[in-house]
Structure formats: C-alpha cells, structure tokens
Copies of this chain bind each other. A is one copy, B any other.
Amino acid sequence: MQILTDTEQSNAKSYMLQLMEEVFYKCRSLTGEGAYDTLKMIQREIGIQINEVESGKKVFDWTIPEEWNIKDAYVLNSNGKKVIDFNDNNLHILNYSSPINERVKFGDLKNHLYTLPDHPEWIPYKTSYYQKNWGFCLSQNQYDSIFTDEEEEFHVVIDTTLENGVLRYGELYIPGKVDQEILISTYFCHPSMGNDNLSGVVLATFLGKLLKEKQNFYSYRIIFVPETIGAITWLYENRDSVNNIKHGFVLTCVGDKGDLTLKKTRSGNAEVDKVVEYVLSESGNDYNIIDFFPGGSDERQFSSPGFDLPVCSLMRSMYWTFPEYHTSADNLEFMEEGKIGETAEYYLRVFHILENNKFYRNLKPYGEPQLGKRGLYRMIGANKDQSVEEFFNEMAMLWILNYSDNKHTLLDITLKSEIPFNQLLAAANALMEKGLIIET
C-alpha cells in the first residue's frame, strides 16, 4: 500500500521543511507574538480560523495566563560585555520570564541559570509558565567561559511584558460525508526546536492541505494549540461536541529519522490502534508500540477520565527518548536528516484504512451466491493451476461474503484472512457492484 510516490514524499518533506525554516526562530510561547506569527503562517497555507481566549478566563481547573511578550534579554559582565544574548538564540531565555533590570552578584545569578553538563555544547529549553520567575539557559561551555569569579557582578536585563491579553489557537474543520470526526491535534508553543514540535505543526498543515482537496468520509478537525493549557482550553470550549470524535491523533516528534512509534489510546484496543498497528506491521519496517501512559503530550488531556477519547500518537522517536529532546540540538539540521515525508505517508495510509474500514452485510447469506454466473469466478473448476493472483481474488471474495455479517470490519477480515486490505477492498467493491453485499 503506497499513497504518495517516493517523489511525492520527497516533495512533501521539502514543503514542510520550508515552512519550518520560515518560522523556526520566532520566540514562540503559550501566548504572544511569536505564537501568533506562527498561526498566521498556517492560516496563509490552509485557512485556519484563529480563536482568542482572554487572560483570566477559567477553563476547567486552569486559568488563561497573562500574555507574554519579549523585546530583548541579555546579561552584561562587569566589563559591560554582553555574555548572554537572547538575540543569539531564543532558547537563552527561561520561557515566560518576568522582566528585570538589575545588577546581581554571580552568587545570586547562578540560581537562575540552566545548563546541560552532559551535552556541554547544547542549550537546554526551560519554562516557568505558572510561577513568576526569570532565568537564562546556556551551554555548559559558555557558562564555564563566562563565570570564573564568584564575586563578579553582572547586569541582567529582561525586557518582557506579562499583561492581560489573549491565548490563541488555530482550527481547521473539513466536513466529510458524516459528522463523525478525526481529530488531529498539535502544539506550537515551543520556540526554536524542530522535532518538538515544529515537525508536528508543519505535518498537520501538510495533511490539512491534502485533506481539503479530497472528498472524505469522515470530517477532519485539525487544531493548533499551545501544549496542555491549549488542549484544555479547546476541550473546554468544545466540551459539548467532543463526542463526535471517532479517532484522534496527537502530532509530536514526527520529523526525526527514528523508527515510527505508536503510543496507543487509553483503552489500547480502539479501532485506530488496530489500524495503525496494521499499517506499521504491513510496511515491513521496524516500529515500536507503546501502551498509553498518562504522561507525554496532549493525549493526557484528551484521555483524561472525563473525556476518555480514542486519541493515539503516531510519532517517530518519542519525546524523552532522543538526546536532542528539549535542547538547541533539536534544530533544522536534525530535521533535514529526518523522515517527515515518510511520516506523512504513514498518516495517509492510516486515514485511507480508517475511511474504508466498513462493516458489510451479505444480501445472499444462505450458502455462497453463484459467483460464476456473475463473471466473478473461474469457469474451469477444480483448478489447481490457476494463477496465484486469481486464486487470491476469489478467496478475497469468499472471505468478504462469509464475514459480511455486520460483526467484522474490513480490517478484521484482513487480519483473519492475511489478504492485503486493498485487495479485500477491491473484492468488496466488486461484490457491491453486483448487489451481493452492502455497507452497513
């Protein structure tokens, strides 16, 4: 089963990398201009609606925070030299830092500095959303070269604002033949990192572009939110209609070159779990299957016991498991080496199966219908020498007829018969054309 040719996958990767490059260095956060610029780019590509929710609004157990914006941030040493500069890399700022403009001794400053001793060249990514704080992240090497004197005094400037404003999220609804929805959720709040999670943002954009061009059986809803608070906000705003969600995906870490990884839904045996597993197993490539756990990304919110939606996550290397995670090494080069085009292909395969995974009813259920008189069966019988293909096509029809009992989906029949899904689908369509079965 291949949906996109190798060339189309390669073009898809180019398109997605180009989008990533365009906004890579925006200083995104839960709120603020960097996030807004990113949403506007998505809007230009696929026409999402951008929704705003005001600071201070209660959303379930949470409160929309103040909007955060940043103009500049740096540290001057005692010689007046800029030793840490937000303009070099926006990971330098502890995300959501409060403003400050003060002289501080190194002894105090060091409690506000974050490094990664194990990866001395990389800058870590840190946040302090819900407790007022300030800080800088830097590489261990930079730290060691700057801070040599315990008594040195530094001038710290963080020019940020925390004011009543809005939290924004984007949403694209693509109506299908039925109201039941496939939810695609991704988050945009991380600054200057590729796999986590501009990869999710641009893959969702790419999929949206393709899905808009097609007639789909399911309706698709693609949402672009800041992580956690954004998912909770969206759930709050849509709490009365989430029951339309039949299948869901959280798009995160979809751009590196690691094997594909399915983190299953909370129940572990939703239709979408079986479909993704089939697509992975059918591919012949290595892959990982991980049971649901209530940590990770926004599947935590969709799978909370009050909602318990069948939302899985089809990733490449899962968050936490690759060394570049939440560091400056999760950069554009890391994405160029990655396989986001192939990830897109797998999502399209999964959608293809979900869209065609029907139950059927046999309209001639008493014995086999006579396929021969309808031109669907070999005319010289008792034939051990027929072609393998012809044999499998006949077997595909017999499987469909026998299991068109309202209890087995096409994927169930695929797994029982070990005949490829698309071959069974073709057989089912042939039988439907002859009026022998109907979709139910």
Contact = CB atoms under 8 A, between A and B. Distances in A.
Contacts of A326: 382, 384
A266 B365 CA distance: 14
A41 interface: no
A284 interface: no
Contacts of A295: 394-395, 398
A367 B231 contact: yes
A383 B95 CA distance: 12
A402 B303 contact: yes
Interface string A43-66: 000000000000000001110000
A372 B131 contact: yes
A416 B306 CA distance: 19
Given A133-B379, A295-B398, A372-B130, A307 B366 contact: yes
A130 B370 contact: yes
A412 B367 CA distance: 32
Counting every copy of the chain, the complex holds 3
Interface string A114-136: 10100000001111111101010
A381 B129 contact: yes
A291 B293 CA distance: 32
A368 interface: yes
Nearest to A413: B294
Given A131-B372, A366-B60, A370-B61, A381 B126 contact: yes
Interface in A253-276: 266
A310 to B, nearest CB: 15
Name which of A127, A128, A129, A402 has the most chain B CB atoms within 10 A of its CB: A402
Interface in A58-83: 60-62
A437 to B, nearest CB: 10
Contacts of A124: 384-385
A399 interface: yes
Interface of A: 60-62, 94-95, 114, 116, 124-131, 133, 135, 228, 231-232, 235-236, 239, 266, 291, 293-295, 300-301, 303-308, 320, 325-326, 362, 364-370, 372-373, 379-385, 394-395, 398-399, 401-405, 416-417
